[in-house]
Amino acid sequence: MTPQPDSRYIVLISVHGLIRGHDLELGRDADTGGQTLYVVELARALAQREDVDRVDLFTRLVDDSHVSTDYQQPIEDIDPKARIVRIEAGPAEYLPKEQLWDYLDTFADNMLGFLRDQDIAPTLIHSHYADAGYVGTRVSSQLGVPLVHTGHSLGRVKRRRLLASGVKQEIIDKRYRMDRRIDAEEETLGAASLVVTSTSQEIQEQYGLYDHYQPERMSVIAPGTDLTRFHPPDGSEQKAPIKKELARFLRDPKKPIILALSRPDERKNIATLVDAFGESEELQRNANLVIIAGNRDDIRDLDSGAQQVLTDILILIDLYDLYGKVAYPKHHRADEVPILYQLAAASRGVFVNPALTEPFGLTLIEAAASGLPIVATEDGGPIDIIGHCKNGILIDPLDKQDITKALLKVVSDASRWRTMVKNGLSGVKQHYSWEAHAESYMAAIKPLLEQVEPPPTAPVARRPMLYHDRAIFTDLDQNLLGDPDSLADFLRIMRENHRCTSFGIATGRRLDSALAVMRRYGIPRPDVLITALGTEIYYAPQLTADDAWARHIDHLWYPRRVRDVLNDLPGIERQPKSEQSRFKVSFYIDPEHAPCLEEIGSSLHQADLNVHLNLSFGQFLDVVPARASKGLALRYVADQFGIPIEHCLTAGGSGADEDMMRGNTLAVVVANRHHEELSQLTDTESIYFAEKPFAAGILEAIEHYRFFDACQVPMRPEDDKSGE
């Protein structure tokens, strides 16, 4: 992969849901909503610009008999310059986003491997939602390219809403993995050079809840809509089968249609809309209600939330005896959504969105583009959309009378209706076309593209390591030092396999301290020595320092500001100067008096410091640059020297080793290092918990993984005689 200075290769990441280039299954479940449509349309819109060379949208590959085979295709072309790239991560079957967190490191490793094989390097990575932010932060850090992020919805906002509804904190964290999500969001906001939002309210009221709230790095770029798909009725919609489907529900199908289209989600507040309609005889005389709430064969097969919403709707229809006045079809195709808008517009109807909260409201601009006035919740996106388009009325979604009054104003006043339609059509074209979105997007990212630098390159002198097939990286202290006999056996095994296996040590110690310990225990210099928690890399035989790595991790590193922030916190004391280094600020921490790690991180985030915190054995706190860690350093070395990451066996045991062991590496925690800091890794399939301690545990893992069985010694070019 060679970076091209004038190239514009934009990478989008949207991990969860079901994403394809045609017939998107919008509303199929909570993970296949507006975000999936947004990212596909964004990829297309950017690819159609002359100043963009390529767009790749990365998502998860799904091989599951319960979903279409489309989602198991590794690459899908959606435009001459745009593709959907599907990455393997975790089990093959379709999983809800809450179950994907343990597989995101694998996604990042596989995605990075794909990108390394491309002929040009990405110039920008844009992540969508917290899970993609987690991946994007790691990939952009390793490639050294700018990260743009769009949250779509935010964990802190959702947690507040769930708490307000009476759900207990521990249930929220367990069911939604909320702690991991919010941590990922904070980390992503700290790493992102730009955050793209749909509305100004998102910036002020939602992102403002985060420690890494930096409004100067945030830009409002409203999503677009496809004006070739969504347009006013032309008569053809009257022949569509979906019209007959609606008509079989309705006693007088010629009445104006009040159209509601959303997932069957409690937050969409459809039941309140049915309540309002049921309580108003005037509204029933003047209009029919059409509810499009996803697709279903059997309500009992849906998740509990969707079951409850649809059951409540059916109960209300029965309570108010709305049969013949409300249509609620079980199925609709994606290509019938524009027709539904057109049928409502042709009936001189109205589109209604009564959601409790609405970050943007893509359906509102689709409806406006189709010639429909809109009635929508006075929250988030609808405020901006109606403000720009002057085509609707804002409502209090909890006030049934307010909903009724607004709907009657639209369907009962022909002049008002025509004015709203005209305003909506011109407003959408001006503010919400994909061409306008792409233009604003490119203007926003232009300063970031000018900052792109070539990825770091290791010293040329170390290229002989290219001929190693695999590598073992281990922490130093308790992994190697506790048992001289097993250490001798381990070193002998490494010598016997040195022609195909590199040996690396990754330690939190400084270089001088690590070398002193190694001399004392007779450990020869490894091929690679990663010191100071991944901030320094040295290569044998002369301990050549990797200066490119140092330049790479220096990005946004402010050690003096780190010291200033932490010096003021109780229970925290700086370690001696001998334990400090250029890229590592180290402290002793007294857990009885010091804030918890989350509060310490919050203090640093609020000071606009994006860093990695490492807590080891409950008493040692180290702060390093965001681009530095043992795991990132290991991946950098493996990539530079052509060693597949899945051929790397890592041995660790403290919290500082966690990212070295996640993802595609093979990993072992030796028996004496089964520390509580790594207890969350016990269910991770690729991590082996050895029964033996120290180096004997590493030897046990070598046997467990049959690590040397397929070890190959690649041929050096000077040994290749085939061309003679």
| Residue 457 within any structural domain of the chain | no
Three-state DSSP class for residue 275: helix
57 and 152 share one domain: yes
For residue 346, the SS3 value is: helix
Q: Residue 198 pLDDT > 90, yes or no? A: no
Look at residue 585 in the predicted model and tell me its pLDDT: 95
Tally the residues of the chain: 724
pLDDT for the residue numbered 206: 87
**Quick one: pLDDT at residue 466?**
45
Rounded-to-integer distance, Cα 593 and Cα 602, Å: 17
Regarding whether 252 and 183 lie in a shared domain, the answer is no
Minimum mean pLDDT range among 34-38, 318-322, 356-360: 356-360
Same structural domain, 360 and 292: yes
Number of domains in the chain: 4
pLDDT of 451 reads 74
| Residues in contact with 165: Cβ distance below 8 Å, sequence separation at least 6, in sequence order | none
Q: Please state, in angstroms and rounded to a whole number, the distance separating the CA atoms of residues 40 and 43.
A: 5
In this structure, what CATH number is given to the domain that contains residue 615? 3.90.1070.10
Q: What's the pLDDT band for 4 if we cut at 50, 70, 90?
A: low
CATH number at residue 395: 3.40.50.2000
Residue scoring higher pLDDT (722 or 457): 457
Report d(CA 447, CA 439) in Å as an integer: 14
CA neighbor of 230 nearest in space, from 327, 375, 128, 351:
351
How much is the pTM? 0.84
The pLDDT of residue 712 is above 80: no
Query: Is it true that the peptide bond before 233 is cis, omega within 30 degrees of 0?
Result: no
Q: Is residue 4 part of a domain?
A: no
**CB < 8 Å & 24+ apart, contacts of 674-677:** 675/617, 677/615, 677/616, 677/617
Query: Which of 405-414, 560-569, 681-690 comes out lowest in average pLDDT?
Result: 681-690
Q: Which of 28, 57, 52 is nearest to 40 (CA)?
A: 57
Residue 2 maps to a domain: no
- Count Cβ atoms below 10 Å from residue 593 Cβ, excluding itself: 10
Residues with Cβ within 8 Å of residue 718, at least 6 apart in sequence: none
C-beta of residue 10 within 8 angstroms of C-beta of residue 122:
yes
- 3-state DSSP assignment of residue 388: helix
> Which tens digits make up the pLDDT trace of 171-193?
988 888 999 999 999 999 999 99
* Mean pLDDT in residue range 277-288: 97
- Residues 425 and 492 both lie in one domain: no
Local confidence band at 1 (pLDDT 50, 70, 90 cut-offs): low
Neighbours of 600 (CB within 10 A): 22
For residue range 149-169, list pLDDT tens digits in order: 999 989 998 888 788 778 888
Query: What average pLDDT does this structure show over 288-301?
Result: 94
Distance from CA of residue 208 to its chain's centroid? 19
For residue 357, the model assigns a pLDDT of: 80
> What is the mean predicted confidence (pLDDT) over 596-621?
89
Residue 440 belongs to a domain: no
Bridge partners, residue 626, by sequence:
none
Q: Which of 372-381, 402-411, 666-675 has the highest mean pLDDT?
A: 402-411
Looking at residues 368-387, what average pLDDT do you find?
A: 93
The single residue listed with the structure tokens 């309002």 is 276
How many CB atoms sit inside 10 A of residue 40's CB?
23
The pLDDT score that the predictor gives to residue 672 is 81
Q: What is the pLDDT at residue 381?
A: 86
pLDDT, position 681 = 67
Rg of the chain's alpha carbons, rounded to an integer?
Answer: 29
Comparing 238-242, 382-386, 403-407, which segment has the lowest mean pLDDT?
382-386
Whether residue 177 is contained in a domain is answered as yes
**Residue that terminates a domain, selected from 224, 249, 268:** 224
Tens-place pLDDT, residues 216-232: 999 999 888 888 999 99
pLDDT given at position 3: 47
H or E element at residue 565: helix 559-567
Same domain, 300 and 363: yes
Helix (H) or strand (E) holding 620: strand 620-625
Identify whether residues 31 and 172 lie together within a single domain: yes
Q: Is the pLDDT of residue 462 over 50?
A: no
Give the bridge partners for 195, in sequence order. Answer: 149, 218
616 CB-near residues (< 8 Å, 6+ apart): 508, 622, 654, 655, 656, 677
461: pLDDT strictly greater than 80: no
pLDDT the model gives residue 679: 62
Averaged pLDDT for residues 234-257? 96
In a domain, 459, yes or no: no
Per-residue pLDDT band at 380 (split at 50, 70, 90): confident
Average pLDDT over residues 98-121: 94
Please state, for a pLDDT cut of 90, what percent of the chain lies above it. 71
The average pLDDT across 235-262 equals 96
Distance, C-alpha 513 to centroid of its chain: 39
pLDDT of residue 52: 96
Kindly indicate the confidence band of residue 464, based on its pLDDT and cuts at 50, 70 and 90. very low
Q: Give the separation between CA 344 and CA 255, rounded to whole angstroms.
A: 10
pLDDT tens profile 533-545: 999 999 988 899 9
Let me know whether 275 and 422 are in one domain.
yes
pLDDT at 682: 63
Residues 6+ apart with CB under 8 A from 116: 1, 639
Centre a 10 Å sphere on the Cβ of residue 641 and count the other Cβ atoms it contains: 20
- Tell me the C-alpha distance between 474 and 49, whole Å: 48
- 6, pLDDT greater than 70: no
Taking residues 640-654, report their average pLDDT: 89
Spell out the alpha helix ranges (H) of 50-154. Answer: 104-116, 129-143
| Closest CA relative to residue 203, chosen from 216, 190, 193, 191 | 216
For residue 633, CA distances in Å to 304, 430, 538 come to 44, 48, 11
**Residue 152: helix, strand or coil by DSSP?**
coil
Query: Picking from 331-345, 463-477, 573-587, which range would have the lowest pLDDT averaged per residue?
Result: 463-477
Look at residue 599 and give its three-state secondary structure. Answer: helix
User: Within this chain, do residues 388 and 349 fall inside the same structural domain, yes or no?
Assistant: yes
Whether 388 is covered by a domain: the verdict is: yes
* Average pLDDT of the chain to the nearest whole number: 91
Residue 195 identity: V
Say whether both 621 and 631 belong to one domain. no
**162 plus 299 within the same structural domain:** no
Domain identity same for 243 and 218: no
β-sheet bridge partners, residue 110? none
Out of 603, 625, 647, pick the residue that ends a domain: 625
Based on the domain organization, do 537 and 586 belong to the same domain?
no
What does DSSP assign to residue 336? G
Structural tokens at position 135: 């991946």
Task: Output the pLDDT for position 420.
Answer: 98
Single residue among 625, 655, 674 that ends a domain in this structure: 625
* Average pLDDT of the segment spanning 187-214: 90
CATH of the domain at 485: 3.40.50.1000
The answer to the question of residue 441 being in a domain is: no
Range of the domain at 193: 9-224
Average pLDDT over residues 63-92: 97
Beta-strand ranges (E) seen in 440-571 are 470-474, 501-506, 528-531, 536-539, 544-545
In the three-class reduction of DSSP (H, G, I as helix; E, B as strand; rest coil), residue 720 is classed as coil
Q: Which residues does 32 contact at the CB level (< 8 Å), separation at least 6?
A: 17, 18, 24, 25, 26
Cβ atoms within 10 A of the Cβ of 527, count? Answer: 23
